[in-house]
Chain A
Amino acid sequence: MAHNNDFDHVAGNGLINRRHLLELGLAGLGAAATGSALAAEATPAIQPWQKTPGPGPSGYGAPSPATAHLQRLAATPNSAAPGTGSSRTPLQHLRGTLTPNSLHFERHHSGVPAIDPAQHQLVIHGLVAQPLVFSYEDLLAYPLHSRVYFLECSGNSGANTAPNPDDGTAASLHGLLSCAEWTGVSLSTLLDQAGVDPAATWVTATGADAASMGRSIPLGKAMDDVLIALYQNGEPIRPEQGYPMRLFVPGWEGNVSVKWLTQIKLTDQPANFRDETSRYTDLLADGRSLQFTFPMGVKSLITSPSGQMVLRRQGVHQITGLAWSGHGAIRQVQVSADGGQSWADARLETVNQGLSLTRFHLPWLWQGGPATLQSRATDARGNVQPGRDSWLAQYGANRYHYNAIQSWAVSAQGEVKNVYA
């Protein structure tokens, strides 16, 4: 049996050196994982599906029935506001960094419109030399650019601003977060062709949903890296993501990436739409409100072990999670197993491309004692993810743009629970 002092500890309460773990080899790992060198012998057998042909190819693939639990967590429908609401990505069940299109989170303000792409039009007008109308087919003929970007709703994780911690999962608490390869036309290309009037300072974007959801974006960002996205992970974007076209504003709060994009109007002032005044603004403790809080703050989250999971064995567990920042690439993720008393650097798995999700890992030896798991991200600009108390001291009753450190408590029974620590 592996003992506690067989491991090279990098921080308190069981965080261990991954290189040491590799040197220890499989035998040591197995012993540590089972807690016994005398595991029952395995009995491999030929299975029924090895004795009969399975079904043939299909038109559009579907996941295994064994993974039927991989569902978005959808809010119950609201008859007073039909079509509004959200569904959340089951972050705790996914690995890697790309979100499958069927599991990308949703947030709708008046449901998903059934758009005929042949009838859909994108109008660019206002403070331009020549107003222009584009069809979906027109946009497909332009040079397309592909980049991997995260998308996070500004209301994500807002449940953790409540006075008492909700006994939730990574999905229920933080699932308004997804990541995909988005492919589309640079908005600047089309704005250049319409001819931006020197008086223009803002761009307003409106969707073709029943709520005509609108947001205002400074012209500087619009001319920088904003896409009119047509593809998501290689296929035409899904209806719930804005088919046939959505704005995609990298790194910024989700709802500026207006779905079902049908109107771009250049103006000399923000429109102050309902969803950038009454909503998505940050009421501070002193009574003032921050408006146009665009880049999503540096943030990370341990996705496993995470809320409502149960550790069923003592031994080495792989702590893994996601980190991201609307200000640029992730430079460092630290992990603590003792509620922030000591920290160790996690390994960053993915190529560190800015404005996308970065996955991190760190091995952890759990020997049946209580633990509080946390992660803390730092981005390339030096922004450090805040603790919950310091976030609340700044933002008070606000529920948007919550990016504080998530704490998962592990009980002696191995039950993992959302806590404030």
Chain B
Amino acid sequence: MSMPEVRFVLFGAIIAGGLCACTDSPEVNESALTTTNTAATASALLPSLGQAVSESALRDIDLIVLPDGSNLPEGSGTAAQGQAVYEAKCAACHGVDGTVAIRGVPALAGGSLSAPQPTLTVGSYWPYASTLFDYIRRAMPPTEPKSLSNSEVYQLSAYVLYLNNIIDRDQLMDRSTLPQVPMPNHAGFVDQSAL
């Protein structure tokens, strides 16, 4: 590992007792520093090591899709297109119709919240369709996450929604239509974050 390039203001002068040859910082009056205990002084004592980066350079690593569809990529797919991908890559765990729940693997379709043992599926529980794309792209299939193309992720999102009778088999899902899909339990959540 190489030594970090330290871009400090007063930090180096303090740690080197004012004798550091590697900085042109003016001599620091330490008693003045201790009596001027302001936020500005505190931040001046901090290193500032973050390397600037542009948002566009982060496009490939930023997989976060917000409920309003922000950051959904190009591409599109229908449930009809997604069936083959689903049956090849998802059905072994989730079942052909998405209702199979085996240990640690949840059912995707069907279910009810009012049953004595509620079944929390995409159709019965999830508040946003955006979460489907977000989660499939980042984490599925579990043995090979991030291996699907964006269009495959749209196709699979459409297929899971179709299995839940939320969209039609030929309804095109893309960056503008997916966030608009009305989810049955959308109004079921109470935000506790302000408590």
Spell out A's residues near B (CB within 8 Å).
78, 80-85, 109-110, 118, 123-125, 130-135, 137-139, 141-143, 189-190, 192-194, 204, 206, 210-212, 214, 218, 263, 265, 267, 269-274, 277-278, 281, 283, 287-294, 397
Contact = CB atoms under 8 A, between A and B. Distances in A.
A134 B51 contact: yes
Contacts of B21: none
Given A131-B54, A278-B126, 16 more contacts: A81-B93, A81-B104, A83-B142, A130-B52, A131-B52, A131-B55, A192-B43, A193-B46, A206-B63, A212-B139, A212-B145, A263-B61, A273-B131, A273-B135, A287-B188, A291-B193
A294 B193 contact: yes
Contacts of B53: 123, 125, 131-133
B118 A397 contact: yes
Contacts of A84: 104, 142
A108 to B, nearest CB: 12
B64 A265 contact: yes
B105 A214 contact: no
Contact of B190 (A82, A143, A269, A291): A291
B135 A274 contact: yes
A211 B49 contact: no
B4 A292 contact: no
Contact of A290 (B65, B105, B120, B192): B192
Contacts of B63: 206, 212
Interface residues of B, number: 61
B27 interface: no
A265 B47 CA distance: 22
Contacts of B49: 134-135, 138-139, 141-142
Nearest to A282: B192
A271 B134 contact: yes
26 contacts: A81-B104, A82-B142, A109-B139, A123-B58, A125-B58, A125-B62, A131-B58, A132-B53, A133-B51, A135-B49, A138-B4, A141-B6, A142-B49, A143-B46, A193-B46, A212-B146, A218-B194, A269-B68, A277-B125, A281-B189, A289-B188, A289-B189, A292-B191, A292-B192, A292-B193, A397-B116
Interface of B: 1, 4, 6, 43, 45-55, 58, 61-68, 70, 93, 102-106, 113-114, 116-118, 120, 122, 125-128, 130-131, 134-135, 138-139, 142-143, 145-146, 185, 188-195
B190 to A, nearest CB: 5
A293 B189 CA distance: 11
Contacts of B125: 277-278, 283, 289
A134 to B, nearest CB: 5
Contacts of B190: 288-291
A294 B192 CA distance: 8
B134 to A, nearest CB: 7
Nearest to B3: A137
B62 A211 contact: no
Contact of B139 (A131, A210, A269, A277): A210
Contact of A267 (B43, B66, B139): B66
A210 B145 contact: yes
A212 B138 contact: yes
Contacts of A206: 63-64
Nearest to B118: A397
A123 B61 contact: yes
B39 to A, nearest CB: 10
Q: Output the residue of A131, A193, A290 with the most chain B CB within 10 A.
A: A131
A110 B139 contact: yes
Given A131-B55, A283-B113, A265 B105 contact: no
B32 to A, nearest CB: 20
B134 A274 contact: yes
A110 B145 contact: yes
Nearest to B122: A278
A398 to B, nearest CB: 9
Contacts of B54: 131
B191 A291 contact: yes
A293 B128 contact: no
8 nearest A-B pairs in the assembled complex, by CB-CB distance: A132-B50, A292-B193, A138-B49, A274-B135, A212-B138, A211-B139, A291-B189, A78-B104
Q: Output the residue of B49, B68, B116, B117 with the most chain A CB within 10 A.
A: B49
Contacts of A142: 46-47, 49
